Amino acid sequence: MQLVIGNKNYSSWSLRPWLLMQHLSVSFEERKLWLFTEQMKAHMQQVSPSLKVPVLIDNGLTIWDSLAICEYLNDQYLRGEGWPQQIAAKAQARSICAEMHAGFFAVREEMPMNVRREKAAIVLSDQANTEIQRIITIFSQCLDKSKEGDSATEYLFGDFSIADAFFMPIVIRFSIYQIQVPENVKQYMQHMLSLPAYKIWQADAIAETAVIAVAEV
């Protein structure tokens, strides 16, 4: 099985299925396509119907789009454990992933993922700040609910799930752009940033030398 990804320093969409597979020990071969190069389109045409990454290739089957890849992995390799098992929690997890997948455009535009960026705050638009507050609300509500009962958890829905993988690029953005968050969200971010799987991605991202100018905010 092969996962085609972009630059680890910048490609937030690539990170999502990569982190899910790495953290949950799904075996795969990584193939990197450098973004915004003269050769990018030609290389994309060989593997990606959408001309975008990530792309998963498994036994002759090609799956593109990060959410579709995660759903496929959940069905084929994770025995359904990529989502919470309780129906209401699963519905909520899918809802917030869909919201992430289809929204938060100001955050994406004004705060591009850049793993090796020196941590520093920037001036953000009102729309970006509104989106940030919505994300903080999502985190807080999920974390509060996940800690109900006898067993405390450090993830959004009990065990690590597709939701955590999907919001990992946001965690990175909040960290590198020094977004102020409440204590429970700060603890969640610290836990996610300390995951061994993410440490591998981070080290590889820092080692890259390619620069995408528009993402250097």
Please check whether residue 211 is in contact with residue 15, taking contact to mean a CB–CB distance below 8 angstroms.
no
Place of tokens 């620069």: 211
HSE-up (13 A, CA, CB side) for residue 42: 3
Query: How far apart (Å, rounded) are the C-alpha atoms in residues 121 and 126?
Result: 15
What torsion, rounded to 10 degrees, do the Cα atoms 196, 200, 202, 204 define? Answer: 180
Mean pLDDT by 10 residues, the chain (217 residues): 98 98 98 93 92 96 97 98 96 98 97 98 98 98 78 85 98 98 97 98 98 96
Nearest Cα residue to 32 out of 208, 216, 214, 213:
208
Query: How far apart (Å, rounded) are the C-alpha atoms in residues 155 and 132?
Result: 19
3-state secondary structure 144-186: HHHCCCCCCCCECCECCCHHHHHHHHHHHHHHHCCCCCCHHHH
Q: Residue 148 has what pLDDT?
A: 66
Please give the domain boundaries of the chain with CATH numbers for all domains.
Answer: 2-80 (3.40.30.10), 87-199 (1.20.1050.10)
Q: Residue 209 has what pLDDT?
A: 96
Reported pTM: 0.95
Query: How far apart (Å, rounded) are the C-alpha atoms in residues 189 and 193?
Result: 6
Q: Residue 187 has what pLDDT?
A: 96
Residue 145: CB partners within 8 Å, gap ≥ 6? 89
Q: Residue 145 has what pLDDT?
A: 86
Q: Residue 153 has what pLDDT?
A: 74
Q: Residue 151 has what pLDDT?
A: 54
